[in-house]
A and B are shown apart, each in its own frame.
With several copies, the nearest count.
Chain A
Amino acid sequence: MSERNQEYDFKWCPGCGDFGVKRALEMAINTFTEEFEIPRTSNVIVAGIGCSGNMVHLIDGEQPFGIHGIHGRSLPIAFGISSSRPDLNTIVVAGDGDFLSIGGEHIAPSAYRNPNITCIVMDNGVYGLTKGQSSPTSETGQITTSTPFGKLERKMNPLELYLTYGVSFIASHYSSKPKLLSDFILEAMKHKGMSIVHVQSPCTTYNDTYDILKGDRKKGIPGTAFIIDENHDPTDYDKAKALVAQEGVPLGLIYRKEPATINELQNKLIMDNPSKNVEDILSSYSI
């Protein structure tokens, strides 16, 4: 519960992966704010609707600005902020349903523009807040409240999509190691352009994947999460493609390049063309 609103607030279930993501995000914001000597209020968190989106109300310490909008629209809201105010550190926090299903349409067009936005996707393979329906990242065959006989359609591979769209910074991680995760979130914030940190953040109530991610040492079952080989070259697109085609959940930086952001491009355009003032425009209508 937040300090600010004692009366009534949202709580994650015990063990929810989002707690770890919250700690990681807090650390990243702290470091970013200190390092760049910006006011803490220059951080803006744009939240989706879902258990995950409640993050925006739960940040400890001095508050960043926040906007808790509607389901699936965190990216276009963030684009409005970041394109109008490139000085702000614009951060999206959203769930897999929010970001990849109803909101999935916004990723590709954003990627083509490369706005300076950092997205943190909390993927639990399920719709948590509406009580356990299947999401694009649920497994095929998975039983959920909306797929009582098993999910029929193919599962999405979000990392592969991000790469194909041309997102300019892509990292993958899980919620169990907040400190490590925070390093990638920080890098993503520093990255000029669109960055996504895709986090496996298990839902203990409807899709508890902790064991699957980490495996069971005693039983000798390996986890699906694996640390990306330190020789991986994140500037190599083809290698990144190969990496995300592998089974399992890679932990680390998958891809990074630094094309111009949309604001940089638009600034150049303004420099290159005669700036119009309103008087001149008005005069062009004289009779």
Chain B
Amino acid sequence: MNQKIISNDFVIRFAGEGGQGLVTSADAAAKAASRSGYYCQTFSTFPSQIMGGPASSQVRISTTQVLSSGDFVDVLVVLNQYAFDNHIQDLNQENGVCIYNAQDCVPSGEGNYFGIDADKLAKESGNTRAANMVILGAVAKLIDFKLESIESFIKDRFSRGRPGDEEIIKSNIIALSSGAKVAEKSGFNVGSLAPSKPPKHDQIIISGNAALSLGATSAGLDSYYGYPISPATTILVWMEQNLVQKDKFVFQVSSEIEAINNVIGAGFSGKKAMTATAGPGLSLMSEGIGLAWMAEIPCVIVDVQRGGPATGLPTKSEQSDLFACMFPAHGDVRLPILAPGTVEECFIIGGLALNWAERYQGPVIIMSEFSLADRSENIKKPILSNVIDERRNSKSSDNGFKRYQSLGKNGELSAMPIPGNQAAYVANGSEHDEIGDTTHLPKHHIRLTERRFGKLSLLNDAHFEIENTSSEIVIMPWGSSKGVAREAYEKLISDNLNIGWIYSICLNPLPKEVLNELRLKKIVIVPELNYQGQWSSIMRMDGINAVSVTQYTGLPFKPSELAEKIREKIKQTMEV
């Protein structure tokens, strides 16, 4: 027990009640670790109530890029009995250690547990609010994380130029070391975190939703309209704080129906416009999204998925809105969909979606997901001058403009004039002729239906990954399951399975290269967080032999479990 294992990777979880500062603790640990050159990823789970209720927040710290929230917990901090009872089974059986709040918890059975009276120690440090620091000190000690790094983090954080700063810093440092001492005395240790290998480039630490917002803003977002809904609310809040600039407009409106029609108006008027919502709001936007498709109006709709259907599981993880996003409205509609798989991709897609909307003159959907939107991760600091702000072709000519012509020989789209300039037309949700006037003659409906689907081919520059093309079996995750699928994939590869990897941040239209490759495969295995296997279903529509590995628990996959399920699925399908 006293022989220290050196590890590249630790998961630290704080479990207790909502309102006990669990997220703050995990975030502080993530910040401190990333300042020391480690990679981090946080993950939280909480009920949909404001205070109290069982909640937890964790951080995974690693010497390399973190792909998922991991299988087990190496250091578990539990603040009450319920937390102990419900999280202890996640503790790493080998070296995991549980720190419990000695006042509120009596651990059952034997194990690597020790109690700490953080409140008392905080008081003794001279700062009743430093209980979190006591715990952080204990945690750091358990994984041999240098206290000095946390101390420097504390100094930065509390150096706010106020009179009491010095004292607060001092007491926090005392609290930190008193926690460390308890951990040392306990005799437990989890191992030693291997030295960090800091990347060469600058980094930022940011959540998925903030990255998406920042990406959109740096690509020229002009107007944002939204209505609060978990887990998309943080995008609205971000915009209200940051999109406060000349000629920009941001507003909390009265419903999602308003929001979708607002972005249609703004998009029509020549601006880059966006709204973000979750499932219930997406459903309400159905009619409006159909209008944007029909009248060909650039706008971006972000769906930060949570558990469904209906009000569903507002603070849980699920990837079950794919059918609803791909076919969001009545009539022949199939929307372009971008689904980020990492926080970095959230940034990229925030801008790309806006650019695509401009380029193909229509609505684009971004599908994020609770666990991705909410987690913090340190990523490479984006270079803003590299971000493209693509604008629609709006070349005006005469009045009575043929805005809705058929596609050109090379797929070019007729220009979309901007109000105030030459070349007025009517953007029409009824079927129409070239200038937008209503007509229901067969020839126009045929021509315009083909135009609407044809122009999707302009959206051909999204990121994709194809690896190990020689294998017949391929893993193809989408969206937020990318990281965990990658971890599972690497496990299976290291077990000498001959499988390939395909990933596309764009689900519609699928890049040609991806589609061609997929069609060659004997089996395409899709890990996804829904019941119906929605993405594999859509791929089967398109002639791909895809099967899903599903999970519908409200939680993300765990890497080892997923690897096992994939192995199972391969066996099954190869047997048939």
Contact = CB atoms under 8 A, between A and B. Distances in A.
Q: Do A and B touch, yes or no (CB under 8 Å, in the complex)?
A: yes
Interface of A: 2, 4-5, 7-14, 38-42, 44, 46, 49, 51, 54, 56-57, 62-73, 76-85, 87-88, 101-102, 104-106, 109, 113, 127-131, 133-134, 136, 145-149, 205, 262-263, 266, 269-270, 273, 275-279, 281-282, 285-287
A3 to B, nearest CB: 9
B421 interface: yes
A106 B254 contact: yes
29 contacts: A9-B437, A9-B438, A10-B53, A10-B438, A11-B53, A14-B51, A44-B269, A44-B419, A51-B50, A67-B268, A68-B428, A73-B288, A76-B258, A77-B265, A80-B273, A82-B265, A83-B262, A130-B228, A131-B228, A133-B233, A146-B240, A205-B51, A278-B384, A281-B214, A282-B214, A285-B205, A286-B203, A287-B35, A287-B204
A105 B529 CA distance: 35
B31 A287 contact: yes
Given A7-B439, A10-B438, A77-B262, 9 more contacts: A4-B435, A4-B437, A8-B53, A9-B439, A41-B420, A49-B429, A80-B273, A148-B240, A270-B246
Contacts of B265: 46, 67, 76-82, 84
- Which residue among A7, A12, A101, A281 has the maximum number of chain B CB atoms within 10 Å of its CB? A281
Nearest to B261: A76
A101 B218 CA distance: 32
Given A5-B439, A282-B381, A69 B264 contact: yes
Nearest to B239: A146
A136 B227 CA distance: 12
B258 A109 contact: yes
Contact of A66 (B206, B242, B251, B436): B436
A269 B271 contact: no
A166 B228 CA distance: 25
B258 A106 contact: yes
Contacts of A67: 264-265, 268, 295, 426-428
B541 interface: no
A286 B201 CA distance: 12
Given A7-B441, A128-B50, A147-B240, A80 B252 contact: no
Interface of B: 31, 34-35, 47-54, 202-206, 210, 214, 217-218, 222-223, 225, 227-230, 233, 236-237, 240-242, 244-246, 249, 251-259, 261-271, 273, 280, 287-288, 290-291, 295, 310-311, 378, 381-382, 384, 399-400, 417, 419-430, 433, 435-441
A13 to B, nearest CB: 4
B426 A148 contact: no
Contacts of B254: 101-102, 104-106, 109, 136
A149 B51 contact: no
A242 to B, nearest CB: 28
B257 A73 contact: yes
A109 B257 CA distance: 13
Contacts of A148: 237, 240-241
- Which one of A7, A13, A41 has the highest number of Cβ atoms from chain B below 10 Å of its Cβ? A41
B439 A64 contact: no
A85 B421 CA distance: 13
A10 B47 CA distance: 8
A70 B54 CA distance: 24
Nearest to B249: A83
Nearest to B32: A287
A275 B244 CA distance: 6
Contacts of A266: 249
A72 B257 CA distance: 10
A281 B378 CA distance: 16
Contacts of A38: 420
Contact of A64 (B269, B424, B427): B424
A165 B256 CA distance: 21
A11 B214 contact: no
B51 A41 contact: no
A262 B251 CA distance: 10
A128 B433 CA distance: 24
Contacts, number: 275
A133 B254 CA distance: 12
Given A285-B204, A286-B202, A41 B422 contact: yes
A134 B253 CA distance: 10
A2 B437 contact: yes
A186 B255 CA distance: 31
For the residues of B in contact with A, the DSSP-based class is mixed
Contacts of B233: 130-131, 133, 145
B437 A57 contact: yes
A81 to B, nearest CB: 4
B400 to A, nearest CB: 6
A106 to B, nearest CB: 7
Name which of B50, B202, B241, B262 has the most chain A CB atoms within 10 A of its CB. B50
Given A80-B262, A276-B244, A41 B438 contact: no
A41 B252 CA distance: 29
A278 to B, nearest CB: 5
A130 B217 contact: no
B266 A84 contact: yes
Contacts of A64: 424
A273 to B, nearest CB: 6
Contacts of A76: 253, 257-259, 261-262, 265
Contacts of A72: 255
B424 A41 contact: yes
Contact of B255 (A69, A82, A102): A102
Contact of A49 (B311, B424, B427): B311
B252 A10 contact: no
A108 to B, nearest CB: 8
A204 B486 CA distance: 44
A56 B217 CA distance: 34
Given A5-B437, A66-B425, A276 B242 contact: yes
A70 B526 CA distance: 31
Contacts of A145: 233, 237, 240
A145 B184 CA distance: 42
Given A69-B295, A70-B310, A130-B230, A11 B437 contact: no
Task: Find the residue from A51, A76, A102, A262 having the highest chain B CB count within 10 A.
Answer: A76
Residue with the greatest number of chain A CB neighbours at <10 A, chosen from B51, B204, B269: B269
Q: Which 10 A-B pairs rank lowest in CB-CB distance, beginning with the nearest?
A: A80-B265, A76-B261, A285-B204, A80-B262, A66-B426, A5-B437, A63-B424, A84-B266, A130-B228, A80-B266
A41 B244 CA distance: 28
Contacts of A56: 426
Nearest to A10: B49
A57 B438 contact: yes
Given A8-B439, A127-B228, A275-B245, A73 B50 contact: no
Given A41-B423, A278-B217, A70 B50 contact: no
Contacts of A10: 47-49, 53, 438
Contacts of B420: 38-39, 41-42, 85, 87-88
A117 B400 CA distance: 24
B50 A205 contact: yes
A105 B255 contact: yes
A85 B426 contact: no
Contact of A63 (B258, B290, B295, B400): B400
B576 to A, nearest CB: 40
Nearest to A276: B242
Nearest to B207: A285
Contacts of B435: 4-5
